Amino acid sequence: MKDIDGLASMMESHRDIELQSWLPRDATTEPTITAHTQVVYYSDAYVYEADGSLESALAMDKPSEASLQKSTQDIVSSLNLHSDQHVFAVAVNRWANNYYHWVAQGMASWALLLDHQKKRKEERRLVLLAPHIFKSFQFQWLTVLGGDYITLPRKYAITTGTCLATSSSHLNPSRSSVQQLRKSALASLKAWLRNSPESVLSGLPATIDRIFLSRGVKGARAIHNEFELAEKLESIGYTILDAEKYSVLQQIYIFSRASTVVGFHGAGLTNLIFADPSCELIELAIVGKHNDCFKRLAALLPLKRYSKLHVEAHPKHSDTAATLEINAQSIGLAIESLMEDNPSSD
């Protein structure tokens, strides 16, 4: 690697074997799937324990007794579902609208539950109970993975039938859940490319190899002068992408084809779950505004190399909003240095 002043303190870089030794113990613990009866759904868009023991597929918080306002309506009867024909799963938590949590935790759990039912040759249909507040990407994901789901009205209680839950989702992703999600999603992508390729390929960039995920200039951790870094990376062969402009299937396709992914810490990097084993991730982590969730994902996957550049960013106030400003030149040099350190990525 080039000896460039100031870069050594900015970066860490790990090959796949090094990442394996870093993994926390809970990441390699096999998830367990349990069955419960009595699950309560509330109008504040959370799913909670009704019997004091259930940990739902995505529920992380348990409410106080005072907040347990059980509905008198039984969704099983009102929606004409019968407990002898269906098994239920729940899919919401306080972070459900965050893409990372929804995919790496929620959909990873859903993939496990679907696989569990298939292996058991269960005749009852597995139905995911989705809250009415779901966004487009969440319904897209349910379509990608398959299975049945129902969008719930407000204030319903499920008090009959069986609810499946997996212990792997309410804290952090595990290897089993992430790899099952990867397997299921890539199988769906192949089916779409075989049967309806235009729905995936239409509107994609002509070149998908080295990609830089843009965060734009709005929202949390927005970078005022991100365009300076984008221009630098574009000049050395990177394609600039805004992940939100593409469908879920298209994002899976893009990451499955990329050789190098560069991006600031953010939801778009979740899709590295679907990257080819030869892919490298370079995460740009603003000092004090990131955690190791994507390092964990990289370690759970067959990924060639994970690198993190610790980026200093300073507040910049304008007439419209407060954003951050980076030293785009030094970050560009660091990325070039990593590329030169691994010529096989060319």
> Which CATH number do you get for residue 312?
3.40.50
- Span 295-309, average pLDDT: 90
Domain co-membership, 18 together with 59: no
User: Averaging pLDDT over each range in 65-69, 146-150, 296-300, which range is the top one?
Assistant: 296-300
**178 falls within a domain:** no
Domain co-membership, 244 together with 229: yes
Query: When comparing pLDDT for 333 and 63, which is higher?
Result: 333
**3 falls within a domain:** no
**184 falls within a domain:** no
Q: What's the chain look like in SS3?
A: CCCCCCCCCCEEEEEHHHHHHHCCHHHCCCCCEEEECCEEECCCCCEEECCCCCCCCCCCCCCCHHHCCCCCCEHHHHCCCCCCCEEEEECCCCCCCCHHHHHHHHHHHHHHHHHHHHHHCCCCEEEEEECCCCCHHHHHHHHHHCCEEEECCCCCEECCCEEEEECCCCCCCCHHHHHHHHHHHHHHHHHHHHHCCHHHHCCCCCCCCEEEECCCCCCCCCECCHHHHHHHHHHCCEEEECHHHCCHHHHHHHHHHCCEEEEECCHHHHHHHHCCCCCEEEEEEECCCCCCHHHHHHHHCCCCEEEEEEECEEEEECCCCEEEEECHHHHHHHHHHHHHHCHHHC
CA distance 19 to 15: 6
User: Among 125, 157, 173, which residue terminates a domain?
Assistant: 173
Here the tokens at position 134 are 């779901």
Domain co-membership, 214 together with 300: yes
CA distance 60 to 82: 28
| Total structural domains within the chain | 2
**6 falls within a domain:** no
Domain co-membership, 151 together with 62: yes
User: Among 130, 156, 173, which residue terminates a domain?
Assistant: 173
Domain co-membership, 47 together with 77: yes
Which residues span the domain enclosing 94? 31-173
Domain co-membership, 22 together with 98: no
- In this structure, the number of other CB atoms found within 10 A of the CB of residue 62 comes to 13
Domain co-membership, 152 together with 212: no
Domain co-membership, 166 together with 283: no
Q: So what's the pLDDT on residue 127?
A: 83
- Span 329-340, average pLDDT: 84
**183 falls within a domain:** no
Q: So what's the pLDDT on residue 321?
A: 59
Q: What confidence tens digit (pLDDT) does each residue in 33-57 have? A: 877 665 554 434 344 333 333 333 3
Is residue 209 pLDDT above 60, yes or no?
Answer: yes
Domain co-membership, 130 together with 17: no
CA distance 345 to 343: 5
Domain co-membership, 113 together with 222: no
Domain co-membership, 145 together with 229: no
Going 81 to 83 to 86 to 88, the CA torsion angle's sign is: positive
Q: So what's the pLDDT on residue 81?
A: 61
Is residue 2 pLDDT above 80, yes or no?
Answer: no
146 Rama sector, left if φ>0, alpha if ψ -120 to 50, beta otherwise: left
Domain co-membership, 240 together with 271: yes
**265 falls within a domain:** yes
Name the β-bridge partners of 33: 166
User: Among 156, 173, 190, which residue terminates a domain?
Assistant: 173
Is residue 16 pLDDT above 50, yes or no?
Answer: yes
Q: What confidence tens digit (pLDDT) does each residue in 63-102 have? A: 433 333 333 234 445 556 666 677 777 654 545 668 888 8
